Amino acid sequence: MQSFNRRSPLDKHRELEEAATHNWILSTTEIKKLLGVKPKGETFTRGCWIFRRSGKIGNQSAWIVEKI
């Protein structure tokens, strides 16, 4: 019997809310895993979230998450 990882569509919003509340900086890869798309430009808006480029984490861009 196969086990499936079923996530609520709201899980990504909960995780982004937590990142915004705690002022966590996320890498491009982390955002892509959450949203399914790679953020581009200096600011990137998706739904009620805005992502602002904030330097680098290794060879990736670092992003600050804000709720609009």
Helix (H, G, I), strand (E, B) or coil at 29: helix
User: What is the separation of C-alpha 40 from the centre of its chain, rounded to a whole number of angstroms?
Assistant: 12
Q: Which residues pair with 60 in a beta bridge?
A: 57
Q: What is the pLDDT of residues 6-60, one digit of tens each?
A: 678 899 999 999 999 999 999 999 999 999 999 999 999 999 999 999 999 999 9
What pLDDT sits at residue 36? 93
Question: Can you give the pTM of this predicted structure?
Answer: 0.84
Tokens of 6: 């079923």
Contact 31, 39 (CB under 8 A): yes
Phi, then psi, of 14 in degrees rounded to 5: -65, -40
